[in-house]
């Protein structure tokens, strides 16, 4: 399995909730999506990634305060908010923004959420999606993404299928057909993956981070090896040989791009794989330990408790909330 697919699998992406919004100039709305708000459709999820697809009309959007990133969008363009920051969008961002939750319309049976707001000017129609994610703090893909990500569907081999899929989504949402939320549940996942791929392809040469590591052929090969066989007792020497560079060169490139040495990354990813297995399978703690390369259950339990502050069995019973503690612990040790 390639490294990106492996990380996305462990992220446990869940299908989006779709909302049909109609805005009429002048308008301005402030939005920050609460995970609890989406839980009836997504189930319990610690993190939500919202996105907006402009079907017709135009809007401006800004993330953060007055000095935050500002983008203009037209028909067929998509904006994604990977970290679910507060964002303001409208025809005129100098207006006092109305909180999105105040103008949200509850769905009737078989229909989806809706939003209608503004004056008597030109209409802008938007389809909004929300992608649930297992966690943000320790997800290397999300950590590498900016606060706002724009995707223009005018180039690339995948552009046509994205356009056609989102056009279909817009029609389904606008019509409010029963079952449309089920029909569309995979659209958000596909869109997110394509947005991540495109963003990685456009990174400047000096960029660092996990996605930048995928562009370095030697670091990418090392990541693929680790994710392809997390239980293998990898050493930097072996990873370097397999990647076609010396131990020192791999260690330098890996650390510069990802911010940690290869073996440190391996240890952290083993914990992520363990958490995934504890949450989604009935495997015993001993079986999980064996799957990720620990020689004994006791050694695995010590490592897991050091990373999360909780024993594996206790963590499994409590659910995914301690993932943040793994991230804090890992940052403290780095």
**Please, which pLDDT band fits residue 197 given cuts at 50, 70 and 90?**
confident
**pLDDT given for residue 179 in this prediction:** 59
Dihedrals phi, psi of 128, to nearest 5 degrees: -110, 140
pLDDT digits (tens, 9 = 90+) for 85-103: 999 999 999 999 999 988 9
**pLDDT given for residue 69 in this prediction:** 87
Domain 210-333 has CATH 1.10.3470.10: no
The reply to whether 3-201 and 210-333 are identical in fold is: no
265 Cβ contact list (under 8 Å, min separation 6): 226, 254, 258
pLDDT digits (tens, 9 = 90+) for 65-80: 778 889 999 998 899 9
Q: Which of 6-10, 21-25, 64-68, 191-195 has the lowest mean pLDDT?
A: 6-10
**pLDDT given for residue 183 in this prediction:** 60
Give the separation between CA 258 and CA 161, rounded to whole angstroms: 33
Q: Is the pLDDT of residue 252 over 50?
A: yes
Q: Is the pTM of this model over 0.85?
A: no
Tell me the CATH class for 3-201: mainly beta
Q: Which residues of 273-300 are buried (b: 16+ CB within 10 A; e: fewer)?
A: bbbbbbeeeeeebeebbbbbbbeebeeb
Sign of CA dihedral 156, 69, 121, 106: positive
- Domain map of the chain by residue range? 3-201, 210-333
**Cβ–Cβ < 8 Å for 54, 169:** no
**pLDDT given for residue 184 in this prediction:** 63
pLDDT digits (tens, 9 = 90+) for 163-173: 777 777 667 66
Of the candidates 162, 151, 144, 154, the one whose C-alpha atom is nearest the C-alpha of residue 207 is 144
Of the candidates 183, 151, 150, 153, the one whose C-alpha atom is nearest the C-alpha of residue 168 is 183
């Amino acid at each position: 399995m390639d490294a990106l697919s492996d990380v996305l699998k462990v992220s446990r992406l869940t299908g989006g909730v779709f909302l049909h919004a109609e805005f009429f100039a002048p308008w301005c709305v402030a939005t920050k999506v609460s995970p609890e708000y989406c839980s009836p459709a997504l189930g319990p999820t610690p993190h939500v990634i919202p996105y907006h697809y402009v079907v017709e009309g135009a809007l401006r959007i800004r993330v953060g305060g007055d000095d935050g990133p500002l983008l203009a969008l037209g028909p067929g363009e998509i904006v994604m908010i990977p970290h679910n920051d507060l964002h303001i969008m409208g025809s005129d961002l100098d207006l006092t923004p109305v909180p999105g939750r105040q103008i949200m319309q509850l769905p009737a049976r078989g229909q989806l959420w809706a939003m209608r707001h503004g004056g008597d000017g030109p209409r802008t129609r938007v389809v909004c999606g929300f992608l649930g994610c297992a966690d943000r703090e320790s997800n290397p893909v999300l950590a590498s993404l900016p606060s706002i990500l724009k995707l223009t569907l005018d180039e690339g081999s995948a552009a046509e299928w994205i356009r056609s899929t989102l056009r279909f989504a817009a029609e389904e949402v606008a019509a409010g057909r029963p079952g449309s939320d089920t029909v569309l549940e995979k659209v958000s996942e596909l869109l997110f993956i394509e947005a991540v791929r495109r963003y990685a392809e456009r990174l400047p040469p000096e960029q660092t981070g996990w996605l930048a590591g995928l562009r370095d052929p030697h670091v990418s090969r090392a990541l693929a090896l680790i994710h392809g066989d997390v239980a293998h007792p990898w050493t930097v020497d072996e990873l370097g040989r397999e990647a076609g560079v010396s131990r020192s060169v791999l260690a330098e490139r890996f650390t510069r791009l990802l911010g940690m040495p290869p073996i440190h990354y391996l240890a952290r990813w083993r914990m992520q794989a363990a958490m995934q297995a504890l949450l989604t399978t009935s495997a015993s703690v001993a079986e999980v330990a064996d799957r990720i390369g620990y020689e004994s259950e006791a050694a695995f339990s010590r490592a897991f408790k050091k990373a999360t502050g909780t024993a594996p069995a206790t963590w499994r019973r409590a659910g995914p909330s301690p993932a943040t503690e793994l991230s804090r612990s890992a940052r403290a040790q780095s």
